[in-house]
């Protein structure tokens, strides 16, 4: 019960405040709005016997719903300081000002208490049109930047694709050349193997003949020893057929050994060449793979930069209700970040100096516009 009395006492007190400030409308708009807000939010009107806040306002003070809403809007949006400075402007003009953003209110020329309602309405319209014009210029500038960035992005992607295609074609051509060389070496190696097989076969045949010759030589040596054991007056003996055959056999053996050595050397050389070519082929395959990986990385960086630019543009559209200084700081920061990303992308191209020069030309044109009347 005591709690109900306390709440009711509060309702009576707030109602008294409203009555007091209602008698001083020229200086009490803030206080009326403040206490109406308390009465409505805490539903204190029920303690005074009213079912709704609208009934309380109309029956108690003949305030229509729209009028009470104006007091609440002025209190909630303009604040105590602003209302203290312009309390003599009247609820209608203050309500009109409460519908503007703080930035637009600051751009209103003239004091609201010195302007008529129609003059204030015209001034508000002028501020809105001016803001819309600035927003339109900002939008057009963003569209121009977007178009330039898209063209540059397309050019970067085209150059990157052309370069990757050229590198891929060159790598494939080199692989084909190495494959052809490897095929030629393989054919030469096969031929050497066949020649070696023929030499081996010949060596087998010569080996059989050699055994027969060695037998004959042994027999001839035995005969020579027998003849030497007998006294003879022969001063010189001409080489026999067997001796000539032995000498020929030794010459043939030396020639065969020489051919074997040459064949072995050629085979080893061919094997080394094949091994070297296989190593080069693997290196070229790794080089091609690195080129492809680099190209994929460049495309990934370009796409990431493009997404960042889009995200930054989306953020820049949220600066409508901030003051000019903050808005310009955000836009300039976006321009600097976008420029840095363009420079990084240009450095990945085949001719970075050309793209940096083009970017410099873009900023020179923007500088000329800033000096002129474009803005």
| H-assigned helices in the chain | 2-22, 29-41, 53-61, 65-85, 91-98, 102-107, 117-229, 241-316, 324-347, 352-371
Digit-coded pLDDT (tens) for 1-52:
455 668 888 888 888 887 776 656 545 788 888 999 999 999 999 999 999 9
Q: What is the pLDDT of residue 158?
A: 85
Q: What mean pLDDT is reported for the chain?
A: 79
Mean pLDDT of 126-133: 88
DSSP of 37-71: HHHHHTTGGGGGT-SSHHHHHHHHH---HHHHHHH
User: What percentage of the chain carries pLDDT values higher than 70?
Assistant: 83
Whether 302 contacts 345, CB under 8 Å: yes
pLDDT band of 235, cuts 50, 70, 90: very low
Look up residue 347 and give its DSSP letter. Answer: H
Query: Is pLDDT of 323 > 70?
Result: no
pLDDT band of 375, cuts 50, 70, 90: very low
Cα gap 360→366, rounded to integer Å: 10
Q: What is the pLDDT of residue 312?
A: 64
Cα gap 356→335, rounded to integer Å: 16
Q: What is the pLDDT of residue 163?
A: 83
Mean pLDDT of 237-252: 76
Mean pLDDT of 131-153: 80
Query: Is pLDDT of 241 > 80?
Result: no
Digit-coded pLDDT (tens) for 160-200:
788 878 888 887 888 788 788 778 878 887 887 888 777 77
Q: What is the pLDDT of residue 234?
A: 43
pTM for this entry: 0.33
Residue 259 C-beta-side C-alpha neighbours within 13 Å: 15
Highest averaged pLDDT of the listed ranges 51-65, 137-151, 307-321: 51-65
């Amino acid at each position: 019960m005591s709690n109900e009395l306390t709440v009711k006492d509060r309702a009576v007190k707030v109602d008294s405040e409203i009555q007091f400030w209602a008698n001083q409308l020229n200086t009490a708009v803030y206080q009326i709005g403040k206490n109406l807000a308390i009465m409505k939010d805490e539903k204190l009107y029920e303690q005074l016997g009213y079912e709704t806040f609208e009934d309380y306002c109309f029956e108690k003070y003949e305030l229509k719903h729209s009028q009470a809403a104006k007091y609440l809007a002025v209190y909630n949006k303009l604040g105590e300081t602003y209302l203290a400075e312009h309390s003599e402007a009247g609820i209608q003009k203050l309500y009109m000002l409460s519908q503007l953003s703080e930035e637009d209110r600051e751009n209103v020329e003239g004091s609201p208490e010195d302007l008529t309602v129609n003059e204030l309405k015209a001034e508000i319209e002028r501020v809105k049109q001016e803001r819309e014009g600035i927003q339109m210029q900002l939008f057009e500038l963003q569209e121009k930047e977007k178009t330039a960035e898209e063209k540059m992005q397309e050019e970067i992607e085209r150059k990157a694709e052309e370069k990757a295609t050229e590198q891929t074609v060159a790598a494939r051509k080199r692989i084909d050349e190495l494959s052809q060389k490897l095929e030629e070496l393989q054919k030469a190696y096969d031929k050497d193997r066949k020649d070696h097989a023929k030499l081996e076969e010949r060596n087998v045949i010569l080996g059989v003949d050699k055994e027969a010759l060695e037998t004959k030589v042994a027999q001839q040596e035995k005969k020579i020893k027998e003849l030497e054991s007998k006294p003879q007056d022969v001063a010189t003996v001409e080489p026999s057929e067997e001796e000539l055959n032995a000498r020929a056999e030794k010459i043939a053996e030396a020639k065969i050994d020489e051919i074997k050595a040459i064949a072995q050397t050629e085979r080893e050389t061919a094997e080394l060449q094949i091994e070297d070519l296989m190593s080069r082929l693997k290196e070229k395959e790794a080089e091609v793979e690195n080129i492809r990986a680099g190209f994929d990385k460049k495309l990934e960086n370009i796409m990431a930069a493009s997404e960042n630019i889009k995200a930054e543009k989306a953020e820049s559209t949220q600066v409508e209700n901030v003051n000019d200084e903050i808005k310009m700081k955000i836009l300039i920061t976006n321009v600097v970040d976008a420029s840095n990303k363009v420079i990084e992308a240009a450095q990945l191209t085949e001719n970075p100096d050309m793209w940096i020069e083009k970017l410099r030309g873009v900023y020179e044109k923007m500088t000329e516009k800033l000096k002129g009347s474009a803005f």
